[in-house]
Structure 1
Amino acid sequence: MSRTYEVRTYGCQMNVHDSERLTGLLEEAGYVASPAGDQADVVVFNTCAVRENADNKLYGNLSHLAPIKAANPDIQIAVGGCLAQKDRSTITEKAPYVDVVFGTHNIGSLPALLDRARSQQEAQVEILESLSVFPSTLPTKRDSAYAAWVSISVGCNNTCTFCIVPSLRGKEKDRRPGEILAEVEALVAEGVTEITLLGQNVNAYGVEFGDRQAFSKLLRACGEIEGLERVRFTSPHPAEFTDDVIEAMAQTRNVMHQLHMPLQSGSDRVLKAMRRSYRSSKFLGIIERVRAAMPDAAITTDIIVGFPGETEKDFLETLRVVRAARFSGAFTFQYSPRPGTPAATMEEQVPPDVVRERYLRLVEVVNEIAWEENQRLVGRPVELMVAEGEGRKDASTHRLSGRGPDNRLVHFDPTGADGVRPGDMVTTVVTHAAPHHLVADEPVLAVRRTRAGDAWERRTSAPVAPAGVGLGMPTVGVPAPLPPAIACG
């Protein structure tokens, strides 16, 4: 019988997309997804090193498998991702029952490493320092039938003092535009109608081959692809955010008026200490120009509270910028030192109780503004792409969920939308606003069945086992849903 697998994913959108590749590699090698609730023959942890206590979380999860592995030595455990890249042999020292450790640069080696560990009866540790094969050339089993990630670059050339990702993912490497567009066209041919262009610093795309306008050109080229209805991207860096990108967003028919751009701090002094190569005035200037070109744009961000040396005055500057920018949502983080980053050894670490108090004040302001921005949409019609499994309370409320062009989550009354499928489009009217979602409790005005809905129906009607990719943190967007970048540059 075929051996079964389960992939457990933690962290940012890069890891989620990497797990789609791990799943594709395993299935190409003959493994099958483990049914929900069953113990898999192979358990793969795709780890994150950005969050505080990421290693404790991993070792806690590994310890739960230790007695199961002891009772059945044929079970294999593999650990990959950023924490594996960072900790290397430490993992097998702390958890000697782990069979395979692999890094961010060699996910394609997983099936061979599993075979070698099984035949040699010893742990296999393989950590490459740089990419040998661009990940997008590997087999991929996509989580969604109607929306997909498309990686345009990997790695990052920035040196933010709080971020360990560049040292784990390496310097930026860009794919050629023709390869990217060929992948997008192939996805559209399969029924996908929404794509998200993915990069650690997505708008720096082109730096490797010397074209400063490569990203805006790529956005415009996506607009020429027939059948592609929605294009998004995540996450840009304010330092490289140029006016040609704003123009491409505003002028390209299928590029959504939605932007996730990390602020991190509103204090120029803290931004300098973070090595963020912009200041608050530049950030707000970008926001102003985006809204001038696209008044309906929804802008979200990442913010870190309590960076070393942050004073009350610095924190008030962050609140000032948040109020001026009027974000439709923000991912807020309490700073935690990450071993291996310059910020971890900085003096003037802010006391945890002060960090938490500021964090709660920030969240209150962010939610207040997001609620006010959402209330402006009450009474307006909105076209939603029906989503799969995004509304946790939909079953009890008998609602369905979808994403608007601005990526806002809307829970809607399906009356008048009989037979609607994930990937189909519905038009409805917003009746209620909350800080993190909208509600449309009037009957649906229109339904448009799509090729994406057809693709979802084909996938779900086929006798295929569940994918087994469990996300380790809440996320935002599509596919179901697309997370914005963690605060890692």
Structure 2
Amino acid sequence: MRYYVESYGCTMNRGEGRELAEDLASLGFEEASSVDDADMVVLNTCTVVETTEKHMLSRIADLRSKGKEIVVTGCMAKAQPNRIEIRLPDAPIIPPEDYGTFKERMQGRYGIQGCATSVDFGSEAILPIAQGCLGNCSYCITKVARGDLRSYSPDRLLHRYDSFLEHGTREILVTAQDTAAYGQDIGTTLPELLRSMLSREGDYRLRIGMADPQSVFRVQEDLCELMDDERIYRFLHIPVQSGSDDILRRMRRKYTVEKFFELVDYLRAAVPDISIATDLICGFPGESDEDHAKSVDLVKTLRGDTVNITRFSSRPGTDAAKMEQIHGRISAERSAELTMVKNSTELDVNNALVDRTFRALATEKGKEGTILRTNSYRPVVVRDDIPLGTFMDVTVTEARPTYLLGTIKNTRN
């Protein structure tokens, strides 16, 4: 039987999708090159916003019409199983908390298909290190799907990490719902895990995944110290979500705007070339014009390398869904203004990098060439066809709001 794993949403979900593929390969299933060539599709769902949920339901209908055997995993399998069951009454629905039983359930339903095979994921690997988080944000359906923090054991993670390096992986994305919270439930920390990883020799890159500012506060000194090792990208994704303390309280975020900027100032002082990414939700219930203006000011003051703007999406089962909602037209207008300001700011930040040369790693293919990542995880697009996993010296020639353009100076294997 040929299978295809189709993952949506965050890096964590993509990483878990790869692990599910490995389980199927170990049972002798053959990986298909596309959905059309597959007999069975593992639909690894996301439901973080309403538009994504609707796309998942549409995708279920599409796959069913094509006669595919469907297995549903991911956040929707936990948060909204009834919406799946009514459309696929006989399909396996396996939420993230039950991934430990995935292989057994697949074997029980479909049997062993043949000799075990391996899955080649190329030069990039994703390492999920925990389920759930320590927070309780009023808007987050992911909390419903993933629950409280459950960190995986260091031994399990290091075994998988070592296997990545043995297979020539050059970039490993360390990820979780709140990566910096790792270990708080089992008596360890993210920096301790990263130190163990960096004890392994090799020329590779580690990227620390999204982390709540509140969790970063606890480990900020150790994280900055680790970034002295060039094998860790000097990059952190720390979502602030709003520039208004009133809205942060309604969101149940456990910090103030002032504390967020104290963290940013500390990180930039300790690691001067660090790249800061953040997220903002606009149109959150109760957001006033003044609250929105504070978010605009935050973007201008932060001068972040990447700012992701999302319009609030009411999700079932969350407290924010019960609050008085902002009109969609107002949210759209605020989103447009924030996007305009952030694009202008990011272009200005990127222009400061023109004519500089960086050592960078080829990580993915783009529409017009290859995308490489600098040590600060800045994307540089070159028009050359570069083998993924190759280190290059790249000179930045032009800037765009969300990426850089460059030319190759030489090759470093």
Scaled by the length of structure 2, what TM-score is found? 0.92
Moved more, 282-291 or 198-207: 198-207
Match in the other structure for 2:331: 355
Match in the other structure for 1:431: 397
Match in the other structure for 1:321: 298
CA distance in 2, matches of 1:36, 1:157: 37
Match in the other structure for 1:407: 377
CA distance in 1, matches of 2:35, 2:86: 29
Could you tell me how far 1:100 is from its partner in structure 2? 1.7
CA distance in 2, matches of 1:67, 1:153: 36
CA distance in 2, matches of 1:79, 1:291: 42
> 8 Å contact 2:22–2:118 — kept in the other structure?
yes
- Which secondary structure state, in structure 2, belongs to the residue aligned with residue 447 of structure 1? strand
> 8 Å contact 1:155–1:173 — kept in the other structure?
yes
Q: 2:149 aligns with which of 156, 168, 172?
A: 172
CA distance in 2, matches of 1:172, 1:228: 31
Match in the other structure for 1:86: 79
> 8 Å contact 1:22–1:108 — kept in the other structure?
no
- Which secondary structure state, in structure 1, belongs to the residue aligned with residue 298 of structure 2? helix
> 8 Å contact 2:181–2:215 — kept in the other structure?
yes
> 8 Å contact 1:384–1:405 — kept in the other structure?
yes
* Seq. identity, %: 29
Alpha-carbon RMSD: 2.2
CA distance in 2, matches of 1:37, 1:264: 36
Cα 1:354–1:167, aligned 2, differ >3 Å: closer, same or farther?
A: same
Does residue 30 (structure 1) correspond to residue 28 (structure 2)? The answer is yes
- Which secondary structure state, in structure 2, belongs to the residue aligned with residue 269 of structure 1? helix
Superimposed CA distance per residue, residues 92-122 of structure 1 (whole angstroms, 9 cap, x where no aligned partner): 22344x5221111123434544555569xxx
CA distance in 2, matches of 1:37, 1:64: 11
Question: Could you list the runs of 5+ residues in structure 2 that have no partner in the other structure?
Answer: 112-116
Cα 1:141–1:156, aligned 2, differ >3 Å: closer, same or farther?
A: farther
Does residue 372 (structure 1) correspond to residue 348 (structure 2)? The answer is yes
Does residue 241 (structure 1) correspond to residue 207 (structure 2)? The answer is no
> 8 Å contact 2:370–2:386 — kept in the other structure?
no
CA distance in 2, matches of 1:81, 1:24: 16
Superimposed CA distance per residue, residues 360-413 of structure 1 (whole angstroms, 9 cap, x where no aligned partner): 000011111111111111000011211332x12x1xxxx432111111211124
Match in the other structure for 2:195: 220
Q: 1:200 aligns with which of 173, 177, 195?
A: 177
Cα 1:272–1:433, aligned 2, differ >3 Å: closer, same or farther?
A: same
CA distance in 2, matches of 1:90, 1:187: 37
CA distance in 1, matches of 2:226, 2:101: 38
> 8 Å contact 1:420–1:447 — kept in the other structure?
no
- Which secondary structure state, in structure 2, belongs to the residue aligned with residue 91 of structure 1? helix
Task: Answer 1 or 2: which has greater strand percent.
Answer: 2
Write the mapping of 1:466-477 to structure 2, written as runs, cut at 5 A. Answer: none
> 8 Å contact 1:194–1:228 — kept in the other structure?
no
CA distance in 1, matches of 2:159, 2:101: 25
Could you tell me how far 1:156 is from its partner in structure 2? 1.0
Letter in 1 for 2:72: V
Write the mapping of 1:254-273 to structure 2, written as runs, cut at 5 A. Answer: 254-273=231-250
> 8 Å contact 2:27–2:107 — kept in the other structure?
no
Moved more, 176-185 or 76-85: 176-185
Match in the other structure for 1:16: 14
Scaled by the length of structure 1, what TM-score is found? 0.78
Match in the other structure for 1:124: none
Match in the other structure for 2:114: none
Could you tell me how far 1:257 is from its partner in structure 2? 1.1
Could you tell me how far 1:225 is from its partner in structure 2? 2.1
> 8 Å contact 1:266–1:319 — kept in the other structure?
yes
Aligned length, in residue pairs:
406
Could you tell me how far 1:140 is from its partner in structure 2? 8.2
CA distance in 1, matches of 2:256, 2:35: 49
- Which secondary structure state, in structure 2, belongs to the residue aligned with residue 411 of structure 1? strand
Match in the other structure for 2:204: 229
> 8 Å contact 1:384–1:404 — kept in the other structure?
yes
Question: Could you list the runs of 5+ residues in structure 1 that have no partner in the other structure?
Answer: 70-74, 120-138, 450-489
Does residue 336 (structure 1) correspond to residue 313 (structure 2)? The answer is yes
> 8 Å contact 2:230–2:375 — kept in the other structure?
no
CA distance in 1, matches of 2:335, 2:102: 40
> 8 Å contact 1:46–1:81 — kept in the other structure?
yes
CA distance in 1, matches of 2:97, 2:345: 40
Cα 1:67–1:142, aligned 2, differ >3 Å: closer, same or farther?
A: same
- Which secondary structure state, in structure 2, belongs to the residue aligned with residue 303 of structure 1? strand
Match in the other structure for 1:283: 260
CA distance in 1, matches of 2:30, 2:140: 36
- Which secondary structure state, in structure 2, belongs to the residue aligned with residue 289 of structure 1? helix
Cα 1:104–1:381, aligned 2, differ >3 Å: closer, same or farther?
A: same
Does residue 7 (structure 1) correspond to residue 15 (structure 2)? The answer is no
Letter in 1 for 2:377: N
CA distance in 2, matches of 1:420, 1:265: 39
Cα 1:184–1:338, aligned 2, differ >3 Å: closer, same or farther?
A: same
Does residue 77 (structure 1) correspond to residue 70 (structure 2)? The answer is yes
Match in the other structure for 1:447: 411
- Which secondary structure state, in structure 2, belongs to the residue aligned with residue 378 of structure 1? coil
Letter in 1 for 2:78: Q
Could you tell me how far 1:142 is from its partner in structure 2? 5.6
CA distance in 1, matches of 2:284, 2:35: 41
CA distance in 2, matches of 1:253, 1:223: 10
> 8 Å contact 1:100–1:117 — kept in the other structure?
no
Does residue 252 (structure 1) correspond to residue 252 (structure 2)? The answer is no
Runs of 4+ in 1 over 4 A off after TM superposition: 114-119
Q: 1:294 aligns with which of 264, 271, 288?
A: 271
> 8 Å contact 2:35–2:41 — kept in the other structure?
no
> 8 Å contact 1:315–1:358 — kept in the other structure?
yes
Cα 1:261–1:58, aligned 2, differ >3 Å: closer, same or farther?
A: same
Does residue 387 (structure 1) correspond to residue 363 (structure 2)? The answer is yes
> 8 Å contact 1:426–1:447 — kept in the other structure?
yes
> 8 Å contact 1:261–1:302 — kept in the other structure?
yes
